[in-house]
A and B are shown apart, each in its own frame.
Chain A
Amino acid sequence: MPTTDAAEIRRVLRQVLAEALDRDVPELTEDLRLFADLALDSTDVIELLMTLERSMGLKVDPDGLAAGALETVGTLTDYIAACLARAQEPVG
């Protein structure tokens, strides 16, 4: 079952980002800003999330994403953890 632990999510994020961008990515701390500090654009972030959907089994809710989730590594990690927790809730 995929983890919802923040440190583990950051580790996976860093690995997926490095592969997607084909460049070294610094260690991800919570307050790093996705656009200003990591120089990502919106297409990069969407590619990242789609990769995570495939590899971690999360289901992205676009409206939830727009509400501040893309500010920093920390907000994105919280958002991913919430998506993963929802995906793991028993159905029925």
Chain B
Amino acid sequence: MLHLHAVAPFVPEHSVAIEDLRVPIGLSEAEYQLFTRFLGLERIATATGLTTFDMLLAAGREALAGTDRSKVRYLIHAHAVQHVAPPQLRLAHSLREGLGLGGARSFAMSHQSCVAGLYALKVAELLLGAQPAGSTALLLTGEKIFSPLVQHLPGTTITGDAAAAVLVGLDGPGDAVIGRAHRTLGEFHRSRDMPPAQQRRYHHVYIDALVSVMRDAVRDAGLELEDVSLVLPHNVNRFSWVAAATALPIPLDRVYLENIPKFGHCYCCDPFVNLTTARAQGAVHPGDPVLMVSGGQGATFGAVVVRIAEGTRRHD
């Protein structure tokens, strides 16, 4: 069973009000009202002067602090946007060097959009199964928003800069992964390039698909929905989570929505950032099963049930 030994987010201190992004990303008045009044977004995390490499390196160092780096067999960079750095940069390799993980193999994975971070947990668990006991993997999630083209998802969200590092192993200590479900609806693979009718169909099935994968993950953990103490979602917008909570149904106060107005949607690292801040705020407690959930363009859906451990390293 996979355990999260340490979860370390990197969220920049600086953020920008959506009001100030109206011109740079070209928001109409109606869309500005949509985002701020109806979708629950207010400010967007902005890592001015930093690169994806800088953010991932900082998070990785925090997650590895005080641990035996020789046990790290894999460094996995999970990202949502397919091209996050020029090819010659060899980002995963550079991160391995920068973090002193000479005994680890490094690679990146995408094509799961904003579910890539949660999906990488599954990949890490499978890979570690073939390694000696005590081996670990370092999962790095997140990326810098490099263009307005990937910052503004019309009618849906505005993305921000953030990253998270997760050190995982098959042995404890740490939060235990006790259930998961993943699903891809390939007919929507063209994402923003879909014709309008297909876009509408995607919006129509989105909540049902999200709710379905949440139910499947809870069932995989041998639990019932009412056992889940908190849902740690992606931060795409508040509106879709109110709809999901209604559809499940679960009380809205069991969905952690604190970070949506503070950071915006930070691609595939949202659930990990939310796990950390929820823990720091005392919103989760040892023994609680929590449900980390994400959905991505393309169209991917993933949910992972984690049982909160006593004494997991905190990075508040």
Q: Which chain A residues have a beta carbon within 8 Å of chain B's beta carbons?
A: 35-36, 39, 41-43, 46-47, 50, 60, 62-63, 65-68
Contact B246 A43 (CB under 8 A): no
Binding-face segment, B224-232, B236-244, B282-290: B236-244
Contact B155 A67 (CB under 8 A): no
Indicate if B34 sits at the interface (CB-CB under 8 A). Answer: yes
Shortest Cβ distance from B37 into chain A, in angstroms? 6
Contacts of B130 in A (CB 8 A): none
Query: Which one of A35, A39, A43 lies within 8 Å of B154 (CB-CB)?
Result: A43
Q: Which chain B residues have a beta carbon within 8 Å of chain A's beta carbons?
A: 28, 30-31, 33-34, 37-40, 154-156, 196-197, 199-201, 203-204, 238-240, 242-243, 246, 252
Contact B240 A46 (CB under 8 A): no
* New contact pairs (9) apart from A43-B30, A63-B242, CB-CB < 8 Å: A35-B203, A39-B200, A41-B200, A43-B28, A46-B37, A46-B38, A47-B30, A50-B33, A62-B39
Contact A39 B196 (CB under 8 A): yes
Contacts of A42 in B (CB 8 A): 34, 155-156, 203
Contacts of B33 in A (CB 8 A): 46, 50
Q: How far is the CA of A63 from the CA of B240 in the complex (A)?
A: 10
Q: How far is the CA of A36 from the CA of B240 in the complex (A)?
A: 18
Contact B199 A41 (CB under 8 A): yes
Shortest Cβ distance from A19 into chain B, in angstroms? 14
Known contacts A43-B34, A62-B38; is-contact A36 B200 (Cβ 8 Å): yes
Q: Which 8 A-B pairs have the closest CB atoms?
A: A66-B242, A67-B246, A46-B34, A42-B155, A66-B243, A62-B38, A47-B30, A66-B239
Shortest Cβ distance from A73 into chain B, in angstroms? 16
Chain B contact residues: over half helix, strand or loop, or mixed?
helix
Q: How far is the CA of A79 from the CA of B35 in the complex (A)?
A: 21
Q: How far is the CA of A26 from the CA of B196 in the complex (A)?
A: 20
Shortest Cβ distance from B303 into chain A, in angstroms? 20
Contact A41 B30 (CB under 8 A): no
Contacts of A43 in B (CB 8 A): 28, 30-31, 34, 154-155
Sample 28 A-B pairs with CB under 8 A, ordered by A number.
Answer: A35-B204, A36-B200, A36-B204, A39-B196, A39-B197, A41-B155, A41-B200, A41-B203, A42-B156, A43-B34, A43-B154, A43-B155, A46-B34, A46-B37, A46-B38, A60-B37, A62-B39, A62-B238, A62-B242, A63-B252, A65-B38, A65-B239, A66-B238, A66-B246, A67-B243, A67-B246, A68-B243, A68-B246
Contacts of B155 in A (CB 8 A): 41-43
Contacts of B199 in A (CB 8 A): 41
Contacts of A47 in B (CB 8 A): 30
Known contacts A41-B155, A46-B38; is-contact A67 B30 (Cβ 8 Å): no
